[in-house]
Amino acid sequence: MASQEILREEPSRGSFINDPKVRGIFFQAVVVIVLVALVWWIVQNTIDNLTRLRIASGFGFLRGRAGFDISDSAIAYSSDSTYGRAIVVGFINTLIVAGAGIITATIIGFILGIGRLSHNWLIRKICMVYVEVFRNIPPLLVIFFWYSGVLSVLPPPRESINLPFGSFLNQRGFYFLRPIWGEGSWLILVALLLGIAMAWFVARKARQRQMATGQQFPVFWTSAALITGLPLLAYALSGFPLSFDYPKQSTFNLTGGFQVKPEFLSLYLALSFYTAAFIAEIVRAGIMGVSKGQTEAAGALGLRPGSILRLVVIPQAMRIVIPPLTSQYLNLTKNSSLAIAIGYPDLTATTGTVLNQTGQAIECVLIMMVVYLALSLLTSAIMNVVNARMALVER
Amino acid sequence: MKHIAIGILGAAALGLVASAASAATLDDVKAKGFIQCGVSTGLAGFSAPDDKGDWQGIDADFCRAVAAAVFGDGTKVKFTPLSAKERFTALQSGEIDILSRNTTWTINRDTALGLNFVGVTYYDGQGFMINAKKLPGVNSALQLSGAAVCVQSGTTTELNLADYFKSNKMEYNPVVFEKLEEVNAAYDAGRCDVYTTDQSGLYGIRLTLGAPADHVVLPEIISKEPLGPAVRQGDDQWYHIVKWTYFALLQAEELGITKANVEEMKASDNPEIKRVLGQEADTKIGTDLGVSNDWVVNIVKAVGNYGEMFERNVGSGSPLKIARGINALWTKGGLQYAPPIR
Ligand SMILES: N[C@@H](CCC(=O)N[C@@H](CS)C(=O)NCC(=O)O)C(=O)O
């Protein structure tokens, strides 16, 4: 008891100034005060300068009428909408192109990464050349490559390339049929959801059965049949309520149908193909990081090579792959702001236009920074959850 | 990307610039020895680098005129090429001293953006250009419903475009780029059917296209685009120098003072010419403005009068061959009019 008391008092023996604890708190307080003062000074200076230069400030401008049109919008938007809505349109476009890009880049990246470790010399070399080429070109060039490719290789609207199912390809983009849902088509949706639910249930049961008895069940084919068959059945039962809006030729362009613009197409393809090269390297590293003994042991148990990859190697590789994969996803999202070079109306482009039309530079740059930061944090958070679920479960 | 950088830089500059002395642009300009002039990235007739890299055009010459007024030397100018989106931030943050870049004078820019327009160096209006080879039947903008229209972002052009199609109940597909060269390339490649911008700009851009003769400018003018130089608010002296440089160019033309005859004109008996050229005894006109009394002589020696500047850059002496039209002096039925220099 007594000795403990002495021990606890020991640090404060001697001068008060020499107490490391006090000193620690003191220096931390100094840093905080300096930081706060700096921020305050910057904010104050900004406000002073804005008033001196007679530039309006505040976020009230977001409610003003935008007055400009945006080529691609997932939500209702016209020149009568507000500046705020224009920014939201840009934000959704960023989400769409980044989301689609992430999915495609992941798929291509995994195929390439596995291909680089293939036993087949040709596949291995093709994948290697791909990775080396795309990894070493700036993303902006890849985007321009696709964009000028689309514009210069494809024909003008009057000479569109006819594709199956009434779709067309020309300089103005890719046009395909747009379904028009007639009366009773809700049944199809219900059937689709039911199909998915049943497929999930079958998969679960099959897994349980395999755990218990070792017997396998053709889950993939059953699910595919359920997910396509049920909606088709509903379609027939509800009296074929679906019709299509076909793209057709008019004075200037094709009208009707669904149009994917070349700006989106080239940005999406460029981001996917560019990022896939990095993902491929991450996947390769992940697979090589799984010790060879694992593969050999699985082989000794009699698993086929495909199953070894799917059941033994990839799940372990994922633990190595996910953290760097997250930063590739963040990169892809941030690279999507290169959209501005080819006129795809993403967050940067529309906010930039708002900035210019209103002159609210500080506010608009702030909005962009906060939104990209939030997107990045959200992506990281999601990937952290995935990572936690992938982590080694000790049994 | 670049405009974000400028935006952030601009924001940072607005935040950090020492708030005191920067109001006196004239002193800053004199201290550094040249005027920093914001121009376009290359619009023939207004501001575009020639094959030697020297900036040519009516907007570039205007900055030379101001330099001549301030320094007695029209070459003391440095040019900063700016896209439509970058231009206002560049002026607000003090990166440039004058914005002379085919910029339309609007109330919003004159008030909320903290700028002051000094006058209208070129009265313009927005027009449309199409490829007549590809679209033979089209001869009016009212036939453009459903067209894809190329336009530069951050301009009054994209706003007028939206208004025009809306009020005529027509549809269109905007194809919007930030940089002029991107708009040009997309139009040339056939990404859009129509190019829209200030009509003078269309004539300039047409010259840079693959086959200029294939393209026609449609007759409709859908807006008023008074183009002129702008400075920052809150510095009246600088504002006056730039504004009166513009008036001096007009006044010189009205009085028949040209680059060739300005030295002779100094000996003129006409009291008005003497006054304008600073030959009146004990004159204070120039010094009151903050420049030397022979400022108009210097301006005309550097770039000529307004009419000479016009013809050389966009008129009969240039490939654009634009007629004076409403840009003629008021004495010739145009809109160009200067208050008296006295
Ligand atoms: N006068 C309009 C449009 C001016 C404008 O930027 N026009 C384009 C097309 S002619 C241009 O000059 N671009 C040159 C550049 O971006 O460097 C405005 O002030 O908003």
Q: Which one, of B63, B103, B66, lies nearest residue B80 by Cα?
A: B63
> With b meaning 16 or more CB within 10 Å and e meaning fewer, what string describes A208-225?
eeeeeeeeeeebeeebee
For a substitution probing ligand 1, which of B197, B199, B200, B217 has the most ligand atoms within 8 Å of its CB? B197
A358 touches chain B (CB under 8 A): yes
Among A337-351, B8-22, B165-179, B307-321, the range scoring the smallest mean pLDDT is: B8-22
Q: Say which residue, B296 or A203, is predicted with more confidence.
A: B296
The 3-state DSSP class for residue A247 equals coil
Helix (H) or strand (E) holding B131: strand B126-131
Gap between the Cα atoms of B274 and B325, Å rounded: 30
* Burial group, residue A34, by CB count within 10 angstroms (0-12, 13-18, 19+): exposed
Q: Decide if B92 and A53 are in contact by the 8 Å CB cutoff.
A: yes
Round to whole Å and give the CA distance between B119 and B231.
Answer: 11
Cβ contact A261:B192 at 8 Å: no
Higher pLDDT, A163 or A11: A163
Contacts with B158 from chain A: Cβ below 8 Å: 68-69, 353
**B217 pLDDT higher than 80:** yes
A384 or B1, which is more confident?
A384
What is the pLDDT confidence band of residue B20, given thresholds at 50, 70 and 90? very low
pLDDT on residue B325: 94
Confidence of residue B14 (pLDDT cuts 50, 70, 90): low
Cβ neighbours around B331 below 10 Å, total: 10
Say which range, A136-145, A229-238, B283-292, B300-309, has the weakest mean pLDDT: A229-238
Neighbouring residues of A136: CB distance < 8 A, sequence distance ≥ 6: none
- How many residues are recorded in chain A? 395
Among A254, A256, A264, A316, which residue's Cα sits nearest to residue A286?
A: A316
Is residue B146 less than 8 Å (CB to CB) from chain A? yes
* SS3 sequence of A97-121: HHHHHHHHHHHHHHHHHHHCCCCCH
Domain ranges of chain B: 21-123+227-332, 126-223
Q: Do B176 and A171 touch (CB under 8 A)?
A: no
d(CA B25, CA B98) in angstroms, rounded, equals: 10
- Our CA-based measurement puts residue A345 at a distance from the nearest CA of chain B, in whole angstroms, of 8
What's the pLDDT tens digit per position in B26-84? 999 999 999 999 999 999 999 999 999 999 999 999 999 999 999 999 999 999 999 98
Complex prediction ipTM: 0.83
How close B38 comes to chain A (CA, Å)?
Answer: 16
Tokens of B8: 């952030």
pLDDT of residue A10 exceeding 80:
no
C-alpha span between B210 and B181 (Å, rounded): 13
Residue A53 scores a pLDDT above 80:
no
Look at ligand 1, atom 20, and give the residue with the nearest C-alpha.
B155
The pLDDT of residue A392? 67
| CA A357 – CA A350 distance, rounded (Å) | 11
Per-residue tokens: B74: 């029209």
* Run of H or E including A49: helix A20-52
> Tokens for A112?
């390439």
Q: Is the pLDDT of residue A118 over 70?
A: yes
For chain B positions 217-236, those within 8 Å of chain A (CB to CB) are 232-234
Pair B121, B229: CB distance under 8 Å: yes
The pLDDT mean for chain B works out to 91
Q: Does A67 touch chain B (CB under 8 A)?
A: yes
- B175 and A343 in contact by Cβ < 8 A? yes
- What is the pLDDT at residue A47? 81
B199 lines ligand 1 (CB under 6 A): no
Pairwise CA distance, residues B80 & B72, whole Å: 21
B36 lines ligand 1 (CB under 6 A): no
Give the β-pairing of B126-131 and B115-117.
unpaired
- Kindly tell me if the per-residue pLDDT of A9 is higher than 70: no
Count the neighbouring beta carbons within 10 Å of the beta carbon of residue A108: 18
Can you read off the two tokens belonging to residue B162?
């939206």
Spatial contact of B44 and B320, defined as CB atoms under 8 Å apart: yes
Q: Is the pLDDT of residue B1 over 50?
A: no
- Whose tokens are 């994922």? That residue is A318
Do B209 and B215 contact (CB within 8 A), yes or no? Answer: yes
Pairing label, strands B77-81, B35-39: parallel
List the residue whose alpha carbon is closest to atom 10 of ligand 1: B201
Q: Which residues pair with B37 in a beta bridge?
A: B79, B98
Judged against a pLDDT cut of 60, whether residue A364 lies above it is answered with: yes
Indicate whether B95 pLDDT > 90.
Answer: yes
Please give the Cα distance from B297 to B301 (Å, whole number).
6
Q: A130: closest CA among A143, A116, A141?
A: A116
Ligand 1 within 6 A of CB of B160: no
A103 touches chain B (CB under 8 A): no
Q: Give the separation between CA B45 and CA B67, rounded to whole angstroms.
A: 20
Residue of chain A whose alpha carbon sits nearest to that of B158:
A68
Measured CA to CA, the distance from residue B85 to residue A343 in angstroms comes to 13
Residues B185, A151: Cα–Cα separation, whole Å: 10
Instruction: Name the band, by pLDDT with cuts 50, 70 and 90, for residue A8.
Output: low
Chain B residues within 8 A of A362 when measuring between CB atoms = 11, 14-15
Q: Which atom of ligand 1 is nearest to the CA of B39?
A: 17
Residue B46: helix, strand or coil by DSSP?
coil
What is the pLDDT at residue A212? Answer: 87
Strand-pair category, B230-232 with B115-117: antiparallel
- Please answer yes or no on whether B1 and A338 come within 8 Å at the CB atom: yes
Which residue has its alpha carbon closest to ligand 1 atom 3?
B155
Q: Above pLDDT 90, what percent of chain B?
A: 84
Q: What angle do CA A71, A76, A81 make, to 5 degrees?
A: 85
Neighbour tally for B197: CB within 10 Å: 29
Residue B180 beta carbon below 6 angstroms from any ligand 1 atom: yes
Conformational region of residue A358, where left means phi above 0, alpha means psi within -120 to 50, and beta covers everything else: alpha
> pLDDT > 90: what percent of chain A?
44
Q: Would you say domain B21-123+227-332 falls under CATH 3.40.190.10? A: yes
**B21-123+227-332 and B126-223: same fold?**
yes
Give yes or no for A349 touching B (CB within 8 A).
yes
Q: Count CB neighbours of B257 within 10 A.
A: 26
Q: Which atom of ligand 1 is nearest to the CA of B183?
A: 9
CA-to-CA distance for B316 and B213, rounded, in angstroms?
Answer: 19
Taking CB atoms within 8 Å and a gap of at least 24, the contacts of B130-133 are: B130/B193, B130/B194, B130/B195, B130/B215, B130/B216, B130/B218, B131/B190, B131/B193, B131/B214, B131/B215, B132/B214, B132/B215, B132/B216, B133/B211, B133/B214
Q: What is the pTM of this model?
A: 0.83
What is the pLDDT averaged over residues B159-184?
94
Q: Is the CB of B201 under 6 A from ligand 1?
A: yes
What does the pLDDT read at residue B13?
A: 52
- What's domain A83-177+246-390's superfamily in CATH? MetI-like (1.10.3720.10)
Residue B38: what pLDDT? Answer: 97
The nearest CA of chain A is from the CA of B2 a distance in Å of 10
Average pLDDT, chain A: 87
How far away is chain B from the Cα of A353, in angstroms, using its nearest Cα? Answer: 5
State the Cα–Cα distance between residues B310 and B326, nearest whole angstrom: 12
What pLDDT is recorded for position B18? 39
Residues B201-224 have a mean pLDDT of: 93
Question: Where exactly are the structural domains of chain A?
Answer: 83-177+246-390, 178-245
Query: B42 — contact with chain A (CB < 8 Å)?
Result: no
Task: Determine the residue among B3, B9, B14, B89 to mutate to test chain A binding: the one whose Cβ has the most chain A Cβ atoms within 10 Å.
Answer: B14
What is the phi/psi pair of residue A229, to 5°?
-65, -50
Is B189 in Cβ contact with A352 (below 8 Å)? no
What is the pLDDT at residue B9? 52
pLDDT grade for A2, boundaries at 50, 70 and 90: very low
Q: Which amino acid is at B198?
A: D
- CATH code: domain B126-223 is 3.40.190.10
Contact A55/B at CB under 8 A: yes
pLDDT tens-place string over residues A74-97:
899 999 999 999 999 999 999 999
A343: left (phi over 0), alpha (psi -120 to 50) or beta: left
Percent of chain B surpassing pLDDT 70: 93
